[in-house]
Amino acid sequence: MLKDIVLDIAYYLDTSSTYQKRKRFFYDILENDKNKYKKFIDIFMIILIFISVAVLIREVKYHVDDFLLFFSNYIVSFFFLVEYLLRLWVNSSVSKIIVKRAEYDSFLLRDVRLSKALKEAFLVKIHYMLSPQAIIDFLAIMPFFHELRVLRIFILFRVFKLFRYAKSIQIITSILATKKFEFLTLAIFAFVVVFISSVLIYVMEANQANSQITSLYKAVYWAIVTISTVGYGDITPVSNEGRFVAILVISSGVAVLAFTTSLFVSAFTEKLDEIKEIKTVEGIAKLKKLYLICGYSDVASTVAKKLSKAGNKIIILDKYESAVSKAIKDGFVALAYDPGSVESYKKININLEKQVKHILCLNEDDVENVYSALTIRSLSKDVEILSLLINDKNRKKLEFAGINKIVYPQELVGLITKELVGVPVAFEVIHELRSEHANVKIDELGITQRIVDNFATVSELDNKNYRIVLLGIYKTSKERFYFNPLDDTILEVGDYLLVVGYSMFIREFEKYLHTKVRSE
């Protein structure tokens, strides 16, 4: 039976991974802005549009090469025809509609109403074909029928296809669509003014001597030119009554122009933040390697500045607008997204494993850091996560959340305090380190191959001559921090020195480490 054949085909297409994969591929390159190939397709189609329009313009007064005419009317139209058919295909799934109807009828223990399913599929396709963009796509392929010369004027409809390919135009259209009621009201008002003024000026001027308004068409033309405040001056009223009508129309035109301007300004003002966010997200998706910081606390601010100074790309997520504003003011790319929400990472559209070097959970709240880590781990099992620990009681929770490295500031403070017990200036040292305006800072210096070649052990660093205090050394190979390391501690590439001192002395010490040549 024909019904059984149709059902078998529908079930096969609906369950075929190859068919669905290919359909998804064409859908992505045509409709999915996040697809990496879509922009190339869009650029290619835009070039075809401009070529065909250029040929049409050239043909008005000059001879056009036969090949160019053939290319414009057939080759370009063929590409648009293929695009139109592909969009019609991927817009909806006929097989899915048939399968859904078959399962529904089977559940109710009755014969499958194939005709109803086909009708539903037909209506879905017709609904797409009657959409404004689909109509423009259809009109753009009309020049394909070159024998009907009048149809070649439809080449101009290809220009409207730019709305489909140009992202900026789409954004502008979507913004103006938010004010469609206001624009509709304005259009109705303008139409009423044009209609009334056309009739009035025609009645007042049609029988006047030397009047240029001799038909209703000319009256409508005059009304439109006048209300738009263009005023070409090619048609002007000659009677006092006609001039009075012109005054009213000009006044109405000024009001329409002012109202239109205010609508544009308000629409773009309301959507300005959203546009900036879209552009920011698009920029983030293009980054190859970055650090993702969840929560913009004081610690996060310091870390971000340090990473940025080293030439790293940084993205900051924080659910509080105030924190995001502060991050942006500090010169970082920041978004008001909740780090503990899966939707936040879907919006920024980045590959956590390929694009992100490390994720730093630096909220000054252990609960927030745990939620952020759990969310990230649900999306990626391998990405490296470092988290700040505020209360040591929550250490197990952070470890359970899948955090690779936990930083507990109180441990370092405790070690420093222990070393300084009984020393009179201990509190002065701590105060100096904490002071916002002090020139003393804690810094980390990476050990490179050049440094290892010149300095074998800690004792050879000669940091005391530069008034630099060596707090400790982080051994990357052992993933362990050694506080106050022994003089015979061997330096290795990848290690980090944690030092304290005046900024100028640290810079000089770092310069010394990289420029000294070992004496043989």
pLDDT digits (tens, 9 = 90+) for 319-336: 888 888 898 888 888 888
CA distance linking residue 472 with residue 498, whole number of Å: 5
Q: What is the pTM of this model?
A: 0.52
From 3.40.50.720, 2.60.120.10, 3.90.76.10, 3.40.50.2000, which CATH number describes the 287-407 domain? Answer: 3.40.50.720
DSSP string for residues in 127-196: HHHTSHHHHHHHHHTGGG-TTSGGGGGGGGHHHHTHHHH-HHHHHHHHHHHTTHHHHHHHHHHHHHHHHH
Let me know if domain 439-515 sits in CATH 3.30.70.1450: yes
pLDDT of 411: 56
CATH of domain 180-274: 1.10.287.70
The answer to whether the beta carbons of residues 401 and 374 sit under 8 Å apart is yes
pLDDT of 152: 55
Identify the three-state secondary structure at position 379.
helix
Q: Determine whether 64 is exposed, middle or buried from the number of CB atoms within 10 Å of its CB (0-12, 13-18, 19+).
A: middle
Paired tokens of 117: 């399913």
pLDDT of 419: 47
Domain ranges in the chain? Answer: 2-165, 180-274, 287-407, 439-515
Q: Token match 């009179």: residue?
A: 424
Give average pLDDT by consecutive 10-residue segment, the chain, 520 residues: 81 87 90 80 85 80 82 84 90 87 80 84 90 82 59 62 66 76 87 88 82 86 85 80 86 86 80 72 78 88 83 88 88 88 83 85 88 89 87 86 80 50 48 54 82 87 84 83 85 88 84 68
pLDDT of 5: 85
Tell me if domain 180-274 and domain 287-407 are identical in fold.
no
pLDDT digits (tens, 9 = 90+) for 201-241: 888 887 787 888 888 888 889 888 888 877 777 788 888 88
